[in-house]
Amino acid sequence: MQFERRDRIVELVRQELAEVLRDVKDPRLSGFLTITGVELSRDMKKATAFYSILGTEEERGWSAEALKSAAPFIRYQLKLRLRLKTIPGVEFEYDKTPERAGRVLELLGMIEKDQAGFPIPPDIHSVTPPAQERPRAAGRRPRKLPAARKPRKKS
């Protein structure tokens, strides 16, 4: 599989961000911080780094402030470490994916628990679903059937 230059730069920026964040000495970054992904703009001048952090809601707020205030230092450190013509400016955004995944697992557990008391019928695979209507194309009216023609009168 061939990777594009852009994909390689995104991965490089993600790795270097993780390394640089270890050097940031801000007491507000007290939790376990993970860079989960990086998106790079088309012109490669702006990078959005997605992060997750283990901790309370208050610690997440402190971490967001700390990352925002450390962004110029982080960009400078990236400039020292990367050999790119343009070093992207970094913006940080909290990644809610772990929370969503936990909620999905919770819902699946509830469904499994509810279905535990109800046996699945053995003929569940033999039931055929009802026929579905074919969707019409958007903006088209149903076609009118031609009216029955009256016989012509002979003159």
CA distance linking residue 92 with residue 64, whole number of Å: 7
The pLDDT tens digits along the chain (155 residues) read: 456 888 888 999 999 998 888 888 888 887 688 888 899 998 889 999 999 888 788 888 888 898 999 899 999 999 999 888 888 999 999 988 877 888 888 888 878 777 766 655 555 555 455 555 555 555 566 666 666 666 677 76
The dihedral over CA atoms of 38, 46, 95, 9, expressed in degrees to the nearest 10, equals 0
Q: Which residues, at least 6 apart from 53, have a Cβ–Cβ distance to it below 8 Å?
A: 31, 32, 33, 34, 59, 60, 63, 94
Sketch the domain layout of the chain as residue ranges: 5-113
What global pTM score does this model have? 0.61
CATH architecture of 5-113: 2-Layer Sandwich (3.30)
